[in-house]
Amino acid sequence: MTIAVGDRIPESTVTWFNDGIQTGSTLELMGTGKVVLFAVPGAFTPTCSNRHLPGYIQHMDDFDQRGVKVFCVSVNDAFVMDAWGKERGIPANLHLLADGNAAFTKALGLELDGTKNGMGIRAKRFAMYLEDGVVKVLNIEAPGEFKVSAAEAMLEAIDG
């Protein structure tokens, strides 16, 4: 079942790289305060690298001004996410999370089966706005689209 507006984000474990692999709970990371969580199907893929992530990098001051923490998740490992962040020059306040086994993505009900293209299970492209761990806005992209999960769309939804 896909997560919906009004639902609490599920408890799951994600990883990131910071002087070694770190592990944390989705509820500990995103369960309090204002949070935008966006997902990309894969680090280093064209739309993710050239459009999705750069929009959030560009607008991090706008999210900070609203008191919103920003997390990006992908079904990649922590080493890949770290390398992608370094290659893209992400600011310290944009947090890249790895969901290597797609456990969190599946718990959200937002997995994408890319096996026919040799990509395995990935996350659908989406963005959600949370307040104290409860989904207030959920924007899921149609296949091949990039509109509603962009940083600008999320800022508009938060201000809406």
Catalytic residue among 14, 48, 75, 148: 48
Could you confirm whether 48 is annotated as catalytic? yes
H-type alpha helices, the chain: 26-30, 46-47, 53-58, 60-65, 78-88, 103-108, 151-159
Element (H, E) at 39: strand 34-39
Q: Which residue bears the tokens 């993710």?
A: 48
Cβ neighbour number for residue 68 with a 10 Å cutoff: 19
H-type alpha helices, 23-147: 26-30, 46-47, 53-58, 60-65, 78-88, 103-108
Which DSSP letter does residue 109 get? T
Enumerate the active-site residues.
48
